């Protein structure tokens, strides 16, 4: 993700809404999720982990054995709001997993070294 996307209107709008305790606009939330997932895929290229943020997107990332059929062995799944909070550093990986806000199955699914993707301030 380019620096322009780091300060994209959608991500800024979503973080602002969440900071004020409001539900973010669905279109803005979708765009923020897609931008940050694309950033993760660029930062950690590969196909060994599938990151799912339904209903807005899913990517494969992280170097390692490539998955080709059926259910991937390494899957991370979370909701859009949790993903944005992780991406901007407002929520830590370990806290999100411990609280059940992220499901991570497989040996390569710890994304803590890759997050946050952008500065949340």
Tokens of 29: 């939330």
Per-residue pLDDT of 65-95, as tens digits, reads 776 677 778 999 999 999 999 999 999 999 9
Instruction: Summarize pLDDT for 106-115 with one digit per residue, the tens.
Output: 999 999 999 9
pLDDT of 120 over the 70 cut:
no
CA 120, CA 11: separation in Å to the nearest integer?
10
- Bridge pairing between strands 49-53 and 75-78: parallel
Give me the pLDDT at residue 119, please. 59
Closest residue by Cα to residue 70 from 50, 90, 96, 42: 50
- Our CA angle for 39, 45, 47, nearest 5°, is 120
Q: Which domains does the chain have, with CATH numbers?
A: 3-105 (3.30.1050.40)
């Amino acid at each position: 993700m380019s620096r322009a996307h780091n300060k994209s209107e959608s991500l800024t709008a979503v973080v602002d809404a969440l900071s004020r305790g409001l539900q973010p606009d669905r279109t803005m939330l979708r765009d923020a999720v897609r931008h940050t997932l694309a950033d993760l895929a660029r930062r950690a290229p590969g196909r060994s982990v599938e990151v799912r943020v339904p209903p807005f997107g899913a990517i494969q990332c992280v170097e390692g054995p490539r998955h080709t059929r059926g259910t991937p062995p390494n899957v991370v799944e979370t909701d859009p709001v949790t993903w944005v909070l992780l991406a901007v550093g407002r929520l830590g990986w370990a806290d999100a997993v411990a609280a059940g806000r992220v499901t991570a199955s497989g040996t390569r699914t710890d994304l803590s070294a890759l997050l946050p993707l952008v500065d949340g301030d």
